[in-house]
Amino acid sequence: MITMDSRGRRWALGLTRLNGVARFLLVVGTTYLGLLAVTFFIGRVVPIDPVLAALGDRASAAAYERMRHEMGLDLPLWQQFFVYLKQVLSGDLGTSVLTTRPVLTDIAYVFPATLELATTGTFIGVVLGIPLGVLAAVKRGTLADQAVRLIGLAGYSIPIFWLALLGLLLFYAKLRWIAFPGRIDVVYEYTFTPITGLLLFDALIQRQWDVAWDVFRHLVLPASLLGYLSLAYISRMTRSFMLNELGQEYVVAARAKGLSETRIIWRHALRNAAVPLVTVVVLSYASLLEGSVLTETVFSWPGLGLYITNSLQNADMNAVLGGTLVIGSVFIALNLLSDLLYRTLDPRTRAR
């Protein structure tokens, strides 16, 4: 039999959860509105005339005014923002001057390349960074610890474009171990039909091993460089989390019980450190998705970063703002995902 007290507790729990969902949606909506506002006003303060970009500098005054009216640039600024907001929410990011296609269509075409590059880089960073961070924490103060910290410091300090150029000089120009910059050889570009846009995955599931090998030879160096950046961040944070866990009382108690050091490190300390580490990995992934512009430019990687760079050089502001908006949206989504994962993995945060 359900009592009044139990029914009241259920109502209170339901209202608490509803309040949490409402606050979550409010945060998401406010953050996204702020992103839209920043993107819009950046497009208005940049010293590039979108009308001249569309018509050219030899257009007549009448044609200039007509295009300016069609673009809505003769409206008050606040009204332009609401028009922009309505277009974005309806999925219209405008038309690219450079490609003459809808910006959203262009982004859907180039984003899988950035996704493949960032995902591979994050995988490398996780697979190597976590063990190195654990090693540095366990061997604190030793030569191994200093070596891992030096690797991380170099990853933070050395510019990515310099590493990319050095890698091309060594592995492509000298050793010929990797393929020419780009994503796939021209031999396969027009004969291979991708399914998801992730070329390596598509080639493997279609069992086209020659295409997969060619894609891998293009992917390995830029992904490794991004993986090095991810490794530097993840190893440093893993070391910090593990040092904190290894100093806890439960580790002392486990050692007193006679548990092996390997079990204590990998099954107890690392398991507890994995809760905040998940957030670190997700944020590292987000930073690679938004920060691969220089890598894509050096390696002629046809991803979102190169698309935005080329659009900016050609004064294609619709494409620049659309790409910036997509990157910002992805970063917001991954931040929210990291927060959700943290709350799911750590029960102590659910009551906050």
What pLDDT is stored for residue 128 in this prediction? 94
166 shares a domain with 119: yes
220 shares a domain with 135: yes
Query: Which one of 89, 123, 143 terminates a domain?
Result: 89
Question: Which of 97-101, 141-145, 182-186 has the least mean pLDDT?
Answer: 97-101
Q: Identify whether 96 is part of a domain.
A: no
pLDDT in tens, 131-161: 999 999 999 989 999 999 999 888 888 888 8
CATH number at residue 152: 1.10.3720.10
112 shares a domain with 83: no
pLDDT confidence tier of residue 350, bands split at 50, 70 and 90:
low
Is residue 347 classed exposed, middle or buried when 0-12, 13-18 and 19+ CB atoms within 10 A define those classes? exposed
Q: Identify whether 98 is part of a domain.
A: no
The Cα 333–Cα 32 span in angstroms is 10
What pLDDT is stored for residue 216 in this prediction? 94
Q: Which of 96, 116, 127 is nearest to 307 (CA)?
A: 96
Domain count, the chain: 2
Question: Which of 45-49, 171-175, 183-187, 300-304 has the least mean pLDDT?
Answer: 45-49
114 shares a domain with 8: no
What pLDDT is stored for residue 238 in this prediction? 94
Q: Identify whether 97 is part of a domain.
A: no
Contact indicator for 129, 234 with CB cutoff of 8 Å: yes
285 shares a domain with 145: yes
Is residue 185 classed exposed, middle or buried when 0-12, 13-18 and 19+ CB atoms within 10 A define those classes? middle
User: Would you give the end-to-end CA distance of the chain in angstroms?
Assistant: 31
pLDDT in tens, 292-328: 788 888 898 999 988 988 888 877 878 888 888 888 8
The chain-wide mean pLDDT, for the chain, equals 84
Query: Which one of 56, 89, 122 terminates a domain?
Result: 89
304 shares a domain with 229: yes
Compute φ and ψ for 102, nearest 5 degrees: -55, 140
pLDDT confidence tier of residue 200, bands split at 50, 70 and 90:
very high
More confident residue, 56 or 109: 109
pLDDT in tens, 201-220: 999 999 999 999 999 999 99
Q: Identify whether 66 is part of a domain.
A: yes
The Cα 236–Cα 240 span in angstroms is 6
Length of the chain: 352
84 shares a domain with 140: no
Q: Identify whether 203 is part of a domain.
A: yes
pLDDT confidence tier of residue 14, bands split at 50, 70 and 90:
low
Q: Which two tokens stand for residue 56?
A: 């050219």
110 shares a domain with 24: no
Q: Which two tokens stand for residue 67?
A: 């295009």
284 shares a domain with 175: yes
Half-sphere exposure of 16 (CA within 13 A, CB side): 9
Contact indicator for 107, 320 with CB cutoff of 8 Å: no
CB atoms within 10 A of CB 105: 12
Would you say residue 20 has pLDDT above 70? no
Query: Which one of 67, 89, 111 terminates a domain?
Result: 89
119 shares a domain with 80: no
The C-alpha angle 61, 65, 70, rounded to 5 degrees, equals 145
The Cα 168–Cα 243 span in angstroms is 38
164 shares a domain with 78: no
Residue with tokens 């592995």: 171
Q: Which of 146, 120, 141, 335 is nearest to 229 (CA)?
A: 120
What pLDDT is stored for residue 117 in this prediction? 93
Q: Identify whether 213 is part of a domain.
A: yes
Range(s) of the domain holding residue 231: 103-349
Q: Identify whether 95 is part of a domain.
A: no
265 shares a domain with 136: yes
What pLDDT is stored for residue 210 in this prediction? 93
CB atoms within 10 A of CB 35: 18
